[in-house]
């Protein structure tokens, strides 16, 4: 499906799990006062909705139908923390469970699910601008984006970051198990036939290994300034 060139500026931030895309995208969006699309959350919501409805985990058509019709909303609580709703239920914590991430990666390999989410994702592009976080934001969803970033980090550092994140939330997952899961997910995401994880040809690659969040955010903002996208 062809993209109509976005009328509002879009910055895409793609990369593998644990590269820090989520945190960086949110900070960049906050700094610019732009909207944020967490596209991974949409795939996670499809997987979660499928689990909750007891769908056949192999049914592509049933998951594609859910991707089309599920009622979701993204917001923030009084303290500014992200809240995600599915069919009126707060599922903010549940969509981050590792098993939901694995489920998301499975349903994300199915073309009808990706097609069903395409328009939903493009509707997030509203004035004054959008920061879109995902795997195929620069390659498929917003090929006309004004700035495309591909964020990476070494596999060890990504596993360690995920480990810390989960530990902070109180779940005890071993680092070795997480490293294995991240490697599996990377492989599945980058070898799938449709919209595999890869940098867009015109993407700028930032390796965040050993860099602080603030340093990466500054790098992204600087790249935009150099291109006169903002001041």
Gap between the Cα atoms of 215 and 230, Å rounded:
18
Q: Compute how many other C-beta atoms are within 10 angstroms of the C-beta atom of residue 136.
A: 24
**Position 50 contacts ligand C5P (CB under 6 A):** no
Q: Which is nearer to ligand C5P, 105 or 179 (CB)?
A: 105
Cα-flanking dihedrals φ and ψ of residue 17, to 5°?
A: -60, 135
Q: Which is nearer to ligand C5P, 104 or 147 (CB)?
A: 104
Size of the site for ligand C5P (CB under 6 A): 14
Among 12, 19, 25, 39, contact with ligand C5P (rule: CB under 6 A): 39
Q: Which residues are within 8 A (CB) of 182 and not within 5 positions of it... i.e. 6 or more apart?
A: 16, 17, 18, 155, 158, 159, 162
Both tokens assigned to 109: 């390999």
Binding window for ligand C5P (CB under 6 A); candidates: 50-58, 131-139, 171-179, 206-214: 131-139
Cβ atoms 178, 172 nearer than 8 A: no
Q: Which is nearer to ligand C5P, 67 or 220 (CB)?
A: 67
Among 26, 27, 44, 163, contact with ligand C5P (rule: CB under 6 A): 44
**Position 20 contacts ligand C5P (CB under 6 A):** no
Among 105, 139, 179, 208, contact with ligand C5P (rule: CB under 6 A): 105
- DSSP assignment string, 128-157: T-EEEEESSIIIII-TT-SEEEEEE--HHH
**Which residues of this protein are in contact with ligand C5P, per CB under 6 A?**
17, 39-40, 43-44, 101, 104-105, 108, 134-136, 185, 189
């Amino acid at each position: 499906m062809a993209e109509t060139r976005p009328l509002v500026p879009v910055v895409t931030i793609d990369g593998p799990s644990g590269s820090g895309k989520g945190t960086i995208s949110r900070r960049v969006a906050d700094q610019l006062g732009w909207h944020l699309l967490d596209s991974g959350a949409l795939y996670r919501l499809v997987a979660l909705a499928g689990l909750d409805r007891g769908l056949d985990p192999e049914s592509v058509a049933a998951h594609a139908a859910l991707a089309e019709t599920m009622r979701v909303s993204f917001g923030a609580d009084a303290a500014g923390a992200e809240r995600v709703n599915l069919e009126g239920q707060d599922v903010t914590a549940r969509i981050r469970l590792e098993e939901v991430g694995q489920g998301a990666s499975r349903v994300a390999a199915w073309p009808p699910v990706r097609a069903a989410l395409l328009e939903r994702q493009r509707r997030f592009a509203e004035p004054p601008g959008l920061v879109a976080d995902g795997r195929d934001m620069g390659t498929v969803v917003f090929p006309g984006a004004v700035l495309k970033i591909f964020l990476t980090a070494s596999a060890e550092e990504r596993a360690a970051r995920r480990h810390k994140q989960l530990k902070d939330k109180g779940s005890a997952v071993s680092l070795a198990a997480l490293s294995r899961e991240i490697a599996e997910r990377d492989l599945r995401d980058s070898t799938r036939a449709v919209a595999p994880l890869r940098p867009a040809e015109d993407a700028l690659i930032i390796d965040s290994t050993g860099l602080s969040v603030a340093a990466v955010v500054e790098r992204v903002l600087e790249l935009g300034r150099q291109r006169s996208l903002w001041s």
